[in-house]
Chains A and B, each alone.
Chain A
Amino acid sequence: MNSLGLEAVEKSFPLLLHGALVTIEVTAMALVLGALAGLLGGLARVSPLAPLRGLAAAYVSVIRGTPFIVQLFFVYYAFPQLGLQVPPMVAAVGCLAVYSGAYQTEIVRGAIESIERGQVEAARSLGLSAGQAMRYVVLPQAFLRMLPPLGNEFVALTKNSALVSLVTVQELLLSAQLIISATFQNFAVYLTIGVMYYIITSVVSTGTQLLERRLKVYV
């Protein structure tokens, strides 16, 4: 009996590494854009303006209430019917960011609402505007409380990035499938990319933990 396919992994390793880089690239871009969406969404959720609150609530409700894969296919396959051809990479990063942003919106909102009312009152009593109170008093404290759930969300985002292989973005999973279709070495290749995903998500979660520890000085 042949080995479990280690030589196939060895030979195609550069291809897998390239796939891993694309996964990291897609995830990193979606993470930054998703965090931005989450911050804006979270602020909108606690805004005094009702239409803004409603808009953010609708965003969260629709995005969380439908499968990611449907959203992705909708953008990639349905938009062209409207004459809008979306490049795979753009669809991938955009959909991941919008999807993750909905969850991050709720994380940001929850953290903001968890800051004691007295903090805003003290800030306002010193003449800070509502915006300044948010920026200098509430958000810095809320950020620390966001970090643990954000860490989870970043890990989830990293794993969800495998789904963009379905719109021809040649990231880690699709690279693996291409290698398997040529070598039939399912075991070794899937095991390898499993390990690679685990390394990537470990870096992400360790990173947020370190950041949390560094910011925790005042607690």
Chain B
Amino acid sequence: MTDDRNGTPIIEARGLRKSFGPHEVLKGVDLSVARGEVLAIIGPSGSGKSTLLRCLNLLEQPTAGEVWFEGTRINNPGVDVNRVRTRMGMVFQLFNLFPHLTVVNNVTLAQEKVLHISRREAEERARALLAKVGLAAKEHAYPNSLSGGQKQRVAIARALALRPAVMLFDEPTSALDPEMVQEVLAAMDELAQEGMTMAVVTHEMGFARRAADRIVFVDEGRIVAEAPPERFFSAPESERVRQFLEKIPT
């Protein structure tokens, strides 16, 4: 079931359940991501795919089940969650840049306060990453002066600044105007090509098709299909997937 290109998976969820009050959003999910793998998580709205992703870095505390990361069970009282999170970058649908900090300071904050990297070194790394996402000229701008696409690219740089082992993307292009989607996807494509391990919740079927190594389809709190993109799109094994793909442009 796992794409085991590099031995053990870097992230693994076992029997994951999550309830909000009486409402069970995840109903027992097993999922693993191998080192270097790009995993696309797709499914209808409200299926639980974002909750699943947010359980992986414990932004949501699972109600039951286990989350393993780099060989350690991380939903355990003794685990330093903050340390774990520096190894998992996350990019949000609504960017969540820090509006009171300039672009460069958005990228240096956690480097300095969490990893205790010197200001100079943190700034150097921030500049390199901003150049990489094509925003070197914006380092002294405040987020509110940027377009949505630019904000999301800064958010990617901010997450990469801690040199994470995995990047989690939670619908990174869903809040963008159509003409800005491509610039963000291009940055993600580049990351994928560099071998970054990625788990991407997305509605961008084009991205899933070309960049993902594997696609999982989540519906009503369960993974109901799982396949490499070729097979997933051309010969969907489940009726539910077929229905879903018929309704969205691919």
Residues of A near any B CB (own CB < 8 A) = 116, 118-119, 121-129, 132, 136-137, 140-141, 144, 217-219
Stretch from B78-86, B129-137, B239-247 that touches the partner: B78-86
Name the A residues within 8 Å of B144 (CB-CB). 218-219
A129 near B82 (CB under 8 angstroms)? Answer: yes
Residues of B near any A CB (own CB < 8 A) = 57, 59, 82-83, 85-86, 88-90, 92, 94, 96-101, 109-110, 113-115, 142-144, 155, 158-159, 162
Q: Which of these, B88, B98, B142, contacts A122 with CB under 8 Å? A: B98
Name the A residues within 8 Å of B98 (CB-CB). 119, 122-123, 137, 141
| Closest residue on chain A to residue B97 by CB atoms | A122
Name, among A126, A128, A140, A141, the residue most crowded by chain B CB atoms within 10 Å (CB to CB): A126
Instruction: Summarize A's interface: helix, strand, loop or mixed.
Output: helix
A121 near B162 (CB under 8 angstroms)? Answer: no
Name the B residues within 8 Å of A122 (CB-CB). 90, 92, 96-98, 155
Measured CB to CB, the closest approach of chain B to A131, in angstroms, equals 11
**Given that A121-B59, A219-B144 are known contacts, is A126 also in contact with B158, CB under 8 Å in the complex?**
yes
Bound Cα distance A128, B85 (Å): 9
Measured CB to CB, the closest approach of chain A to B186, in angstroms, equals 22
List the 4 shortest-distance A-B pairs measured between CB atoms, nearest first.
Answer: A122-B96, A126-B110, A127-B86, A118-B96
A127 near B96 (CB under 8 angstroms)? Answer: no
B96 near A132 (CB under 8 angstroms)? Answer: no
Q: List 30 A-B contacts (CB under 8 A).
A: A116-B96, A118-B92, A118-B94, A119-B98, A121-B96, A122-B90, A124-B59, A124-B82, A124-B85, A125-B57, A125-B59, A125-B85, A125-B88, A126-B86, A126-B162, A127-B83, A127-B85, A127-B114, A127-B115, A127-B162, A132-B113, A136-B113, A137-B98, A141-B98, A141-B99, A144-B100, A218-B99, A218-B143, A218-B144, A219-B144
Name the A residues within 8 Å of B155 (CB-CB). 122
| Closest residue on chain A to residue B142 by CB atoms | A218
Q: Which of these, B82, B100, B159, contacts A128 with CB under 8 Å? A: B82
